[in-house]
Amino acid sequence: MINFLIWIIAGGFIGWLASLIMKTNSRQGTIVDIVVGIVGAFLGGYFLSPLFNISTINEGNYSIPALLVSLGGAIILLAISKLFRNIGGFVLIILIALLIYIYSTCWTMGSTSAFCISVRAIPFLQ
């Protein structure tokens, strides 16, 4: 439970700091800062962690390098969302990232988890 609270607080701090750097703080609230921090940590873990060989806050690492990688992912997320300037474009980016994640875990790795089996059973994906 305490790890979950630290994760939320770290995600909020990273999202707030990224919004200050990208100058989007005036149009974001606390909840959006938390979401940006956590999703940004996911993007940082996916794109930046292999480059620097450092985990992110999503993996329970709260060291300075992990916070910086998570911050880098949050800045990338805000830079992409700034291209669209509205919630529709932001949702589209999140949806595309989710589809890429599902594709990379369910098809290329051949996972046999219940989630991947149910995704592969969708008729229009076969």
Rounded to an integer, what distance in angstroms lies between the CA atom of residue 38 and that of residue 48?
14
CA distance 66 to 95: 25
Single-letter residue type at 47: F
The rounded average pLDDT for each run of 10 residues, N- to C-terminus, in the chain (126 residues) is 80 87 78 83 82 80 86 86 71 77 69 70 63
The Cα diameter of the chain in Å comes to: 45
Which amino acid belongs to residue 65? P
Quote the Cα angle for 72-41-23, to 5°: 50
Q: Give the SS3 label for residue 51.
A: helix
pLDDT, residue 122, reads 67
Q: What is the pLDDT of residue 51?
A: 81
pTM for the whole structure: 0.64
